[in-house]
Amino acid sequence: MTMTFNSYEQSIDAGQPVALYRFSRGVLRWLYCSADRDVTVGSEVYRSLSGGMTDAGAKFTGDATADKFVVTAPADIEVAQPWRTGCPSDQIELTVFDMHYGDNDPRLRWAGRIQSVNWPALDRCRITCVSRDAEMGQPGLDDAYSQFCTATLGDERCGVNLTAHQVPMTIQSMDGAAVQCAAAAGYPDGWFMAGWVEWPIGSGEYDRRHIDRHVGTELRLLGGTAGIPASATLRVLPGCDFLFGTCTDKYANSDRFRGIPDLERRSPFDGNAVW
């Protein structure tokens, strides 16, 4: 007789609970389980880790931002390594399933994303995650009464084709704070400031770091150069200061500028009846 998930849960001694952890970033996947052996579910193989992997359980206090989901894992677990040099530029999501060994019917328990990673001991790391409900509490509309554009460069509201503006560059050297690229000298100083560099991390995914300053061949990066392979070919994108002149001259995108260039430099709500 085949037992169902509920049958395993309700049985006195037949249950062998296993937690499945699916981390994902784009097409990249990291699959782990809490069992003492690998677990296959469909076409996915969830790896058993030496030292084990556990979580503190899901919390539902009514305050989603405070209900952290904490996973404890070996210090060298692959999904945690990007946090050793800062923070990955894209979110890494986590979906947790419960099942019983011998059953092939996992049940969704929790879903969210990694918020932070720390190493409380040499051999362990703590992965702190927040739920999708916490994401719903983030600010919504951000259009403001301002001279500055409220769009993000390259998003749907902006409409700039970033691919047409990206420049491939070869790294000549790195000093921990900046990269030197000969191709950057072919553009005016500051052209790439507030833009970013991207480098491949596998499976078509890219990590990125923002550019704090551009002078000659030097691109100084926020967060430094840790984690950037010395042999990487960078994709470098120019930045935007959200002013009308930049939108017009640099990107020829004035029709989609979302600020008010000729805005009066005073508030209509300052109490003065004459405005």
Tens digit of each residue's pLDDT (9 = 90 or more) over 195-207: 999 999 888 889 9
Q: What is the pTM of this model?
A: 0.77
Q: Which residue has the higher pLDDT, 173 or 145?
A: 173
Give the pLDDT of residue 137.
Answer: 60
Name the nearest CA neighbour of 254 among 190, 160, 156.
160
Give the pLDDT of residue 244.
Answer: 94
Beta strands per DSSP E along 34-176: 39-41, 44-48, 54-55, 69-74, 93-100, 107-121, 124-131, 167-170, 173-174
Give the pLDDT of residue 11.
Answer: 65
Q: Are strands 44-48 and 28-33 parallel, antiparallel or unpaired?
A: parallel
pLDDT at residue 101 greater than cutoff 60: yes
Cβ-proximal residues to 183 (8 Å cutoff; 6+ apart), any chain: 167, 168, 169, 170, 236
CA separation for the pair 126, 75 (Å, rounded): 8
Tens digit of each residue's pLDDT (9 = 90 or more) over 116-133: 999 999 999 999 999 887
Beta strands per DSSP E along 54-145: 54-55, 69-74, 93-100, 107-121, 124-131
**Mean per-residue pLDDT for 24-43?**
93
How many helices (H) does the chain have, and how many strands (E)? 4, 16
